[in-house]
Structure 1
């Protein structure tokens, strides 16, 4: 009999400027260091919704002010790395925003060393595969509201 596991909830925010997206370069975290990742992302805290987490993370990581209604849901992804490691059993909300207050800048230099705008047609390397799948969906259109990553079909 398979054992039950808890899913780790997280919210990701991709700020959009035309065909560009803001990404951050992670460093010194022990997770995805050296990768370009969503401008803001993090775990949903107890007592907050995924949308509230996205607003909070954008403020904490980029210094921008988002209103909840500024966020558009791109997809909700159920993700795994194929192992039974609890850290890799996730459900993640991917949000986009085209309106915000304040210029985005690195707010947590112990976790990210740079933020930069990238064309969806010319993304940096490396980007985590699961985030790349979302970015390609944003570029190409037709991103499903519910998606999966890492499961054997």
Structure 2
């Protein structure tokens, strides 16, 4: 059995909107598609929630508070994805990783189905995370 690659991803949600990044067309995996706000490999000795905090800073320039784990369905059997809802952070998200992403945008829930998503099977989870982030602040 092949080991799955540990990945942590963030779903930044504010005022009922979710921040997605557009993966650069030159990316090897899932090019030219919209993806979670930030994410990447969990490094050796790092916990998934630590990875998501690091990735948000590296890719978006924000310092995350209170990342809450949420279910996420990903059909890629090579990945072990841990997703985190983020509703509090310091700073305004910017594209701090232009070699990885060529755009970032806030979307309303109704706009997501019309996007080319890196992981379309995650759409129900994305919508649920938006609702959680908008309706119920994370428990501290």
TM over 0.5: yes
Q: CA deviation at 1:24?
A: 0.4
Tell me which residue corresponds to 1:40.
38
Tell me which residue corresponds to 1:110.
99
- Cα separation, partners in 2 of 1:9 and 1:130, compared to 1, 3 Å: farther
C-alpha distance in structure 2 between counterparts of 1:102 and 1:17, whole Å: 13
> What aligned pairs does 1:1-153 form with structure 2 within 5 A after superposition?
4-27=1-24, 28-67=26-65, 70-75=66-71, 77=73, 79-81=74-76, 88-123=77-112, 124-127=114-117, 128-139=119-130
Structure number with the higher helix fraction is 2
Larger radius of gyration: 1
The answer to whether the 8 A contact 2:53-2:64 is kept is yes
Q: CA deviation at 1:131?
A: 3.0
RMSD over equivalenced CA pairs, Å: 1.8
Give me the TM-score of the superposition, normalised by structure 1.
0.77
C-alpha distance in structure 1 between counterparts of 2:63 and 2:130, whole Å: 25
The answer to whether the 8 A contact 2:12-2:18 is kept is yes
- Equivalent residues, number: 129
- Structure 1 residues without counterparts, runs of 5 or longer: 82-87, 142-153
C-alpha distance in structure 2 between counterparts of 1:8 and 1:133, whole Å: 23
Q: CA deviation at 1:114?
A: 0.9
- Structure 2 residues without counterparts, runs of 5 or longer: 133-140
- Cα separation, partners in 2 of 1:23 and 1:6, compared to 1, 3 Å: same
The answer to whether the 8 A contact 1:38-1:131 is kept is no
The answer to whether the 8 A contact 2:16-2:131 is kept is no
- Residue deviations 1:71-127 (CA, integer Å, cap 9, x gap): 0111155x444xxxxxx4221111111110011000111110111000112215101
